[in-house]
């Protein structure tokens, strides 16, 4: 497990980091993502998609160290995505 930024027991995970996505044995879950509202104006939505694809925007999750530890203890596979 790679520890990056650490705030009072919380670890910042970015998409692609080990532990960013978890698999409960049946379904893979991402810890964070970007969600664009249906009400978002189309030109803004297109800009967000463009900047996300360029890597200027990214999904991050702040996860407590104990949660990452318990995921490993349970034997669930951490999936890099």
How is the chain split into domains, by residue range? 6-79
Q: What pTM was estimated for this model as a whole? A: 0.60
Model pLDDT, residue 79: 46
Model pLDDT, residue 42: 96
Phi, psi of 71 (to 5 degrees): -60, -40
Model pLDDT, residue 16: 83
Percentage of residues of the chain with pLDDT beyond 90: 26
Residue with tokens 């360029």: 54
Model pLDDT, residue 81: 44
Phi, psi of 22 (to 5 degrees): -130, 155
Average pLDDT, stretch 23-28? Answer: 78
């Amino acid at each position: 497990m790679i520890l990056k930024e650490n705030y009072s027991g919380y670890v910042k995970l970015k998409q692609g980091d080990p532990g960013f996505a978890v698999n409960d044995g049946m379904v893979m879950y991402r810890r964070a993502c970007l969600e664009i509202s249906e009400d978002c104006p189309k030109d803004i939505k297109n800009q967000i998609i463009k900047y996300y694809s360029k890597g200027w925007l990214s999904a991050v999750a702040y996860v407590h160290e104990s949660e990452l530890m318990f995921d490993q203890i349970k034997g669930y596979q951490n999936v890099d995505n």
